Amino acid sequence: MSTFVSIPGDLQARYSRTPQGRAWLSGLPGLIDASLERWQLSVDLEPGAEPWNGHGGIVIPVRYNGTPSVLKIAFPHEEALVERHALALWGGSGAVRLLEADAASCAMLLERLDALSWLQAAPMDEARDVWGSLMKELGIEPDDRPEWKGFEHIAARAERWSDELPAEWEHLGQPFPRWLLEAALEVCQTRGAVGRRAGKDVLVHCDLHFMNILPRLNGGSTLDGTGATGNRGYVAIDPQPMIGEAEFAVAPILWNRIRDLSRTAPEVALLERCADFSSAAGLDGEAAREWSLVREVDNALWYAGKPRHEGDLARSLWVASTLAGRPLDGLPAAHDLPEPGLAGSN
């Protein structure tokens, strides 16, 4: 018997634009039912309430052997296909605990977190300390477990960017000055080579922004009774995992919560945030600045090719050029820039 779970409207709108997305949406009710049956789950939603959703999937509150949990089913994209491997490697230390997974359907059963208390609303000093603590927990080194084989290396991504960024910049009609592109390419060449030689490979959560850090429901205790390790029970979700230099993870902290920067000198404050968060995590602040620069140039090119994303493009160009030490003219003031996800259509 089918269990009715409504599909959130913004998820339907996002994935209705392509044949692949429409096919996934049409099959989603069946995937939900199959997962509920596979793991003997009961839906834990008030009548008429919609489940949660992120950019890439649906998250349904469920009960698993009576325990509050969530069923996450993602659209089968690159990051989603390896998310379960990262969560398995972390084993609930610094990240949401993975209870079950089904590779064929991109479905995961996860511990339930406090979705109303993310780090987005925390004072910046507290956010910095929590983020730094989590980064230390998450930065585990490769071992002989098979899950490591599925991750892309950050240095390989940099090598690919060396070819792709200039080609895309030309294809899009040179949407920003050449010097900013060249600054990004220099990072690809230098940090990419360093990343291959340094021997400091760790598992990197590449999307560790404030909204992807949530507290555990019960004050930091996991299902097996394990307590939190100094971060007040906060753990990470949605890792977009890769292997390489941990400094690659700093960028999302810089392109989120821009309006919390000083109004009098936001450019200085952004560079200080980069240094402060890097220090809290025991990272090299200069390497973090460089990786963040190239990641924002890559974002800028993505936004430049999408309609109705002028605000997102302006934000990426402001962050990238500020990190390069040469803020571009003609952009909105920092505090007028939109937060990610709030400009244009997603």
pLDDT at 100: 97
pLDDT at 9: 87
Residues 107 and 147 in one domain: no
Question: pLDDT band for position 197 (50/70/90)?
Answer: confident
Mean pLDDT value across residues 166-188: 97
Q: Tell me which residue range forms the domain holding 247.
A: 142-206+241-336
Does one domain contain both 153 and 25?
A: no
Say if 128 falls within a structural domain: no
β partners of residue 235: 214
Place 192 in a pLDDT band, splitting at 50, 70 and 90: confident
Are 152 and 290 found together in one domain? yes
Do residues 260 and 339 make contact, with C-beta atoms less than 8 angstroms apart?
Answer: no
In a domain, 212, yes or no: no
Res 232: pLDDT: 56
3-state secondary structure of 91: coil
Q: pLDDT at position 225, please?
A: 42
Token pair listed for 220: 């930091």
DSSP state of 99: E
> Is residue 247 a contact partner of residue 286, using CB atoms and an 8 Å limit?
no
pLDDT-derived band at 318 (thresholds 50, 70, 90) equals very high
> Of 298 and 225, which is predicted with more confidence?
298
Could you give the CA distance from residue 212 to residue 237 in angstroms, rounded to a whole number?
Answer: 5
Mean pLDDT to the nearest integer, 156-177: 97
Q: Does residue 46 sit in the same domain as residue 146?
A: no
What pLDDT band is residue 345 in, cutting at 50, 70 and 90?
very low
**What total number of domains does the chain contain?**
2
Average pLDDT of span 124-151: 96
pTM > 0.95: yes or no = no
What CATH number did the domain enclosing 44 receive? 3.30.200.20
Nearest to 135 by CA among 273, 240, 277: 277
Q: pLDDT tens for residues 4-61?
A: 788 888 889 889 989 999 999 999 999 999 999 999 999 999 887 889 887 889 999 9
- Mean pLDDT value across residues 123-132: 96
Query: To which H or E segment does residue 188 belong?
Result: helix 178-197
In a domain, 119, yes or no: no
Task: Tell me phi and psi for residue 257, to 5 degrees.
Answer: 55, 40
What is each CA distance from 291 to 159, 163, 195, 258, 286, in whole angstroms?
13, 17, 11, 18, 9
| Together in a domain, 178 and 308 | yes
Residue 199: pLDDT band by 50, 70, 90 thresholds? low
- Mean pLDDT value across residues 183-204: 86
Same domain, 272 and 192: yes
Same structural domain, 188 and 274: yes
**Residue at 97 is within a domain:** yes
Question: Residue 342 falls within a domain, yes or no?
Answer: no
The answer on 180 and 45 residing in a single domain is no
CA–CA separation, 112 and 69 (whole Å): 4
Listing DSSP states for 149-183 in one string gives GGPPBHHHHHHHHHHHHHHHHHHTT--S-HHHHHH
**314 with 303: CB under 8 angstroms?**
no
How high is the pLDDT of residue 80? 83
Q: Which of 69, 78, 121 is nearest to 96 (CA)?
A: 69
* Domain end (from 89, 111, 133): 111
Q: How far apart are CA 292 and CA 288, in angstroms?
A: 6
Per-residue confidence (pLDDT) for residue 153, from 0 to 100:
94
What is the sign, positive or negative, of the torsion defined by CA atoms of 142, 144, 147, 150? positive
Is residue 331 within 8 Å of residue 317, measured between CB atoms? yes
User: At 77, is the pLDDT very low, low, confident or very high (cuts 50, 70, 90)?
Assistant: confident
Element containing residue 268 per DSSP (H, E): helix 266-280
Percent of the chain with pLDDT over 90: 78
